[in-house]
């Protein structure tokens, strides 16, 4: 072994034999599982298939966290699962999955995955289930079925390679996941670089699990991330949007943001925002984004509503301002027109990395437009603005700007705060007082000069 090999952190290997923890030793009861998940397990079992609860639900219960999702793994093929459940729909191309629908709850059932298979000769008859990888090693299609041992090896993190058997109520641990939970470590199974290349989104998942579960990322799992972060450029922008929702709407958005920045991942999600953060000497941009995420976490943890439109409006606000100011100076354009052009450009640029759906970009546009109108309060304008669907979000956005250091907006923010606390008569009085303020002198139009005649 070379000195370089000795200095490299050890990766997590599979156990030769799974650690079998009987019901009497793990303390997990079926009462902690969804009744619908239990129904799915028993129907698969009664039909002669193997079936296990796997991954996050087992992990969370062991950590004392109430699980939100219950995933099942089985040796039944997707088409066989569909024949067993009338309420089943098959989804996905990259991974073929079965969703068993019980009203608002969906139990996800996956067929046990096996090792990658590639057709080596064009003359060979294609296998029914093969995997396809890109030149960078990313798996593009992976409907390869195998045994429970192979499925465990294909899991991403050791804490997710835990299986609950409905036959004897035991837990099977294939990669020292129980030890990782005890040590509070996020560990990839297998060689980290290879696993990240197979699916670069695992880098984002490592961050999310670390903050969600209050764990640290193991050195071997963490080390390759900064060098491989650019692999996120190969991930479809729509998938990265879904990952962003998981990162920013789980009550740990601020911690996720800081770790994404620390590991060099954030710039591949929001490059323009990352550039604005790096260029800002005052620290305002960092305070603005961090405070937005802190407020988001507070609302989510208090079971209050959060709209992704607000989050993306804040993330792209500084790039938008910079672009609009450039357009105004370069083209001598009015502020409103410059911002309209800048909005189109910034959203189009961002969509190449994270594809935010139109329903949220429309909301972000409304919040931005209202920032330009909040100081126009005379007459009926204040009342009409307060009726706009995104007014409350725009008002919160204004407060966020002030809290982050835009002290020039303090008076405007205070005025709107007082206005919203007043009844109708009090609001009219505030607007009237505003109308009675000093006004610019109006110049009288000059009389046209009399044209000289021949007699002059």
Using CA atoms, how far apart are residues 56 and 72, in angstroms rounded to an integer? 11
Residue with tokens 């290349």: 197
Predicted local distance difference test score (pLDDT) of residue 115? 73
Helices (H), 128-252: 148-154, 177-183, 192-198, 201-212, 219-222, 225-228, 237-248
For the entire predicted model, the pTM comes to 0.85
The predicted model gives 312-341 an average pLDDT of 95
Model pLDDT for residues 390-401, shown as the tens digit of each residue:
999 999 999 999
φ, ψ for residue 403, nearest 5 deg: -65, -25
Using CA atoms, how far apart are residues 46 and 104, in angstroms rounded to an integer? 25
CATH topology of domain 271-435: cca-adding enzyme, domain 2 (1.10.3090)
The answer to whether 5 is a known catalytic residue is no
Predicted local distance difference test score (pLDDT) of residue 55? 86
Model pLDDT for residues 72-84, shown as the tens digit of each residue:
999 999 999 999 9
Helices (H), 199-251: 201-212, 219-222, 225-228, 237-248
CA 60 to chain centre: 20
CATH topology of domain 14-119+127-189: Beta Polymerase; domain 2 (3.30.460)
pLDDT band at residue 138 under the 50/70/90 scheme: low
The predicted model gives 125-145 an average pLDDT of 53
Q: Which of 272, 263, 280, 175 is nearest to 224 (CA)?
A: 263
Q: By three-state DSSP, how is residue 170 classified?
A: coil
The predicted model gives 405-416 an average pLDDT of 96
Catalytic residue among 71, 142, 199, 297: 71
Catalytic residue among 69, 191, 230, 280: 69
Say if residue 125's pLDDT is above 50: no
Catalytic residue among 151, 156, 199, 274: 156
Model pLDDT for residues 86-100, shown as the tens digit of each residue:
999 999 877 789 999
The answer to whether 173 is a known catalytic residue is no
CB-based burial label for 104 (10 Å; 0-12, 13-18, 19+): exposed
Using CA atoms, how far apart are residues 108 and 69, in angstroms rounded to an integer? 8
The predicted model gives 319-323 an average pLDDT of 96
Please report, in angstroms and rounded to a whole number, the separation of the first and last CA atoms in the chain: 110
Say if residue 141's pLDDT is above 90: no
Task: Calculate Rg over the CA atoms of the chain.
Answer: 29
Predicted local distance difference test score (pLDDT) of residue 131? 46
Supply 406's token pair: 């835009």
Model pLDDT for residues 290-300, shown as the tens digit of each residue:
999 999 999 99
Of 109-118, 128-137, 145-154, 182-191, the least confident = 128-137
Model pLDDT for residues 247-278, shown as the tens digit of each residue:
999 999 999 999 999 999 999 999 999 999 99
Using CA atoms, how far apart are residues 37 and 105, in angstroms rounded to an integer? 10
Using CA atoms, how far apart are residues 77 and 71, in angstroms rounded to an integer? 15
Going from the C-alpha of 256 to that of each of 68, 126, 269, 389, 456, the distances in angstroms are 20, 43, 13, 30, 83
CB-based burial label for 223 (10 Å; 0-12, 13-18, 19+): middle
CATH 3.30.460.10 placement within the chain: 14-119+127-189
Predicted local distance difference test score (pLDDT) of residue 200? 96
Say if residue 120's pLDDT is above 50: no
Provide the β-strand partners of residue 165.
52
The answer to whether 423 is a known catalytic residue is no
CATH 1.10.3090.10 placement within the chain: 271-435
């Amino acid at each position: 072994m070379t000195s370089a090999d000795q200095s490299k952190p050890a990766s997590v290997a599979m156990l030769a034999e799974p650690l079998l923890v009987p019901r009497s030793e793990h303390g997990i009861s079926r009462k902690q599982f969804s009744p619908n998940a239990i129904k799915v397990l028993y129907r698969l079992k009664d039909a002669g298939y193997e079936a296990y609860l796997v991954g996050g639900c087992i992990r969370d219960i062991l950590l004392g966290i109430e699980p939100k999702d219950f995933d099942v793994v089985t040796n039944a093929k997707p088409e066989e699962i569909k024949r067993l459940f009338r309420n089943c729909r098959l989804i996905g191309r990259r991974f073929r999955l079965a969703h068993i629908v019980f009203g608002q709850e969906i139990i996800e059932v996956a067929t046990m995955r096996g090792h990658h298979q590639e057709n080596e000769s064009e003359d060979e008859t294609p296998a029914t289930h093969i995997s396809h990888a890109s030149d960078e090693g990313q798996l593009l299609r992976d409907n390869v079925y195998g045994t429970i041992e192979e499925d465990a090896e294909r899991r991403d993190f050791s804490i997710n390679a835990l299986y609950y058997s409905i036959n004897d109520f035991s837990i099977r641990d294939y990669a020292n996941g129980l030890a990782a939970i005890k040590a509070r470590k996020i560990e990839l199974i297998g060689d980290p670089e290879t696993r990240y290349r197979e699916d670069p989104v695992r880098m984002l998942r490592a961050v999310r699990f670390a903050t969600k579960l209050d764990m640290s990322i193991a050195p071997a799992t963490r080390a390759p991330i900064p060098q491989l972060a650019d692999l996120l450029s190969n991930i479809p922008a729509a998938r990265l949007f879904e990952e962003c929702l998981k990162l920013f709407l789980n009550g740990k958005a601020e911690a996720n943001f800081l770790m994404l920045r620390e590991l060099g991942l954030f710039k591949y999600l929001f490059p323009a925002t990352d550039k604005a953060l790096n260029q800002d000497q005052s620290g305002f941009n960092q305070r603005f984004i961090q405070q937005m995420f802190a407020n988001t976490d507070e609302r989510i943890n208090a079971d209050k509503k959060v709209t992704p439109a607000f989050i993306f409006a804040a993330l792209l606000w500084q790039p938008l301002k910079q672009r609009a100011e450039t357009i105004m100076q370069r083209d001598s354009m009015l502020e409103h027109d410059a911002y309209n052009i800048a909005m189109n450009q910034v959203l189009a640029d961002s969509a190449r990395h994270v594809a935010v759906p139109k329903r949220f970009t429309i909301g972000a546009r409304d919040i931005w437009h209202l920032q330009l109108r909040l100081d126009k309060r005379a007459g009926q304008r204040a009342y009409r603005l307060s009726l706009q669907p995104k007014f409350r979000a725009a008002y919160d956005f204004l407060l966020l700007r002030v809290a982050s250091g835009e002290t020039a907006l303090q008076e405007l923010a205070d005025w709107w705060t007082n206005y919203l606390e007043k009844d109708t008569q009090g609001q009219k009085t505030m607007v009237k007082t505003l109308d009675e303020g000093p006004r610019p002198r109006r110049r009288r139009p000059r009389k046209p000069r009399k044209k000289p005649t021949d007699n002059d």
